[in-house]
Amino acid sequence: MEGEEGANLARFLKWATALGISDSPNSTGASSACLGLSMCLSHFPEAGGRGLAATRALKKGELVLRVPNEALMTSDCLISSDQKLANSLGKFHFLSPAQILCIALLNEVNKGRSSWWHPYLKQLPRSYDLLTSFSHFEIEALQIDDAIWTAEKAVHKGKMEWKLITPVLSELNFKPQFTTFNAWLWASATISSRTMHISWDTGGCLCPVGDFFNYAPPDEDPHQLGESEADDIDSFLHITSIDEGDKADKSTEELVDVKTDRLTDAGYDEALASYCFHAKRNYERGDQVLLSYGTYTNLELLEHYGFILQENPNDKAFISLESEMYSLCSWPKDSLYISQGGKPSFALLSTLRLWATPVGKRRSVKHIAYSGQRISVENEVAVMEWTAKRCQVVLSSCLTLIDEDMQLLHIIDKIRECSGEAETSSLALRDEIGAFLEMNTVTSGELPTKTIRSITRWRLAVEWRYKYKRILSDCISHCAKTLDNLSAP
């Protein structure tokens, strides 16, 4: 890194070291630099850009980073050090913990260089790609109704929150640029995508250096259960009762699966008065050290963090069910999904098998359905045919085909690189590309920052819908293969 960016990073690392942030393997030892003994900053183009690389072999469970309490940015520490902020917030009792932290963050940014947190603030991203920042065009590019609804809800929530807190910002007399909707979007996106769980404040905390970790999904989704692992309905209901609310932010609470293994690898250690990060697996020197903070679908990652994974074992697709189907099971609706690879979830398959059984016989076969077993060949055929047809209905409702989405991703890359014409024989793609070009400035030279950001969000939307459609397509293939096996002599 060179120039101003490199100088800012150097100042930040010096500031972090002075606060006692350290990657020393000795939990009680001191280090002359906050990084270097276990990890270093590096660039990973295929995994989100800047991240942390191992500087030595790391063992699973080993402590790799400590961030002392005094280095954590919390609402408490920001309010206690600023009487004006405390007085102003005291007049507004309707604010949530997350909103309070957003306002306190903007208050520090408004101070500029006079803020004690200035070296850290200079390291925060200038923009984010969460769903709240998506334009109408980018939302429509998602194509799937559930995703469009989720994005529209996120945008609406962001606007409502901004209107709600505008009187607070006026009370604090911020500079005009920090009272705008875009400023609020930046602050709320920072809190949504970067905060970590602390027990004493549901708003969470910002963790300098700790937020350099990029995300890796847990190896297993605690809410997914293979048929061979399901002995009865009680075991499945026990698993699906784990509180989904723990996933709302970058939580490091001890979410556990049925084997009581930790899914998260960081948390606040009272004994050390520090936020502590542990290696989630063994790493060799040069490997990117990653952090798991819960199981998320790609849509949830896009909504709360502004990215999606190329390979996400926890991604899911949902198909609409008949109203009667929901009454046949006691599991939450979000357990009725098609998993990565196209296989219906245990709950979905059990529900469909029971639904495909004549009403008068359901009571006698309920235990079979809940045990994950086939009820009969005829029943299984009906389930597979219905599932494949429903997946095809969703795919047919989309404006573009899977292959066209893949083609569009290549075209978007050419537009971003100014390396070629956006030509295609697909009428649907020509319409979408034309709509983008009509709203954005694209020339043969360097693209404006606003256009680059729009291209990034557009690409995320197209990539998301492509991966979602792939799950549905794989499910159709899975159903066809199952039907072939059932018809074999």
- Mapping DSSP onto H, E and C, the string for 127-188 reads CCCCHHHCCHHHHHCCCCHHHHHHHHHHHHHHHHHHHHHHHHHHHHCCCHHHCCHHHHHHHH
Give residue 48's pLDDT.
Answer: 65
Q: What is the pLDDT of residues 298-352, one digit of tens each?
A: 999 999 999 999 999 999 999 999 888 888 877 888 899 999 999 999 999 999 9
Q: In whole angstroms, what separates CA 58 from the centre of its chain?
A: 26
Q: What is the distance between the alpha carbons of residues 197 and 275, in angstroms, rounded to a whole number?
A: 10
**Residue type at 11?**
R
Give residue 156's pLDDT.
Answer: 97
Q: What is the pLDDT of residues 8-34, one digit of tens each?
A: 999 999 999 999 999 998 766 567 789
Half-sphere exposure of 419 (CA within 13 A, CB side): 7
Give the chain's mean pLDDT. 87
Whose structure tokens read 């979602």? Answer: 468
pTM (two decimals): 0.87
Q: What is the distance between the alpha carbons of residues 25 and 346, in angstroms, rounded to a whole number?
A: 42
Q: What angle do CA 340, 244, 308 make, to 5 degrees?
A: 40
- Mapping DSSP onto H, E and C, the string for 56-117 reads CCECCCCEEEEEEHHHCECHHHHHHCCHHHHHHHCCCCCCCHHHHHHHHHHHHHHHHHHCCC
Judging by beta carbons within 10 Å of its beta carbon (0-12, 13-18, 19+), is residue 428 exposed, middle or buried? middle
Is the pLDDT at 116 greater than 60, yes or no?
Answer: yes
Q: What is the pLDDT of residues 400-455, one digit of tens each?
A: 999 999 999 999 999 988 766 667 888 899 999 999 999 988 877 788 889 999 99
Is the pLDDT at 378 greater than 60, yes or no?
Answer: yes
Give residue 166's pLDDT.
Answer: 93
pLDDT-derived band at 463 (thresholds 50, 70, 90) equals very high
